[in-house]
Structure 1
Amino acid sequence: MAQSAITPVTVAVSPPAVAKLPVRAVAPWAAFFGVLMLVLLYFVGTEQGALSVFSGESVHEWVHDGRHLLGFPCH
């Protein structure tokens, strides 16, 4: 059998540098999305119930399937 005269070349590759996000830049966005999620959870979970803010059934109809998906009873 013939032997290859070419030897493989190995190159050491360092991982790319990861930029660190400062907490001060992320904190306002995290607070905003946290409040937004709590408002959405309120509308899906309790709106048009005992603590309803809006009268009528419109909000209930908009979030009806999401309410069942998340396990909230509504009727």
Structure 2
Amino acid sequence: MAHSAAPATAAPALTPISLKTIAPWAVFVGVLMLVLLYFVGAEQGATSLVSGESVHEWVHDGRHLLGFPCH
């Protein structure tokens, strides 16, 4: 039985991504993480932005998982 060899294809060249391209996304992700950390760690405390218990109930398990006291 004859095997037909598939023609070798060249791998696509990897192009580096410039810092100008990554910087806005890095800033966006950093700010998003800080907002998330605020809501999990500090909301419903002295710096509360939202009144009531709704935010506390949504992030309650996350607080315990990350070691923030809430009781």
What TM-score does the superposition give when structure 2 sets the normalisation length?
0.80
Bigger Cα Rg: 1
Identity percentage over the alignment? 74
Structure 1 alignment gaps of length 5 or more: 1-14
Q: How many residues align?
A: 62
Letter in 1 for 2:34: L
Structure 2 alignment gaps of length 5 or more: 1-10
Aligned partners of 1:65 and 1:17: how far apart in 2?
45
Higher share in helix: 2
Q: CA deviation at 1:17?
A: 3.4
Give the aligned CA root-mean-square deviation in angstroms. Answer: 1.4
What TM-score does the superposition give when structure 1 sets the normalisation length?
0.76
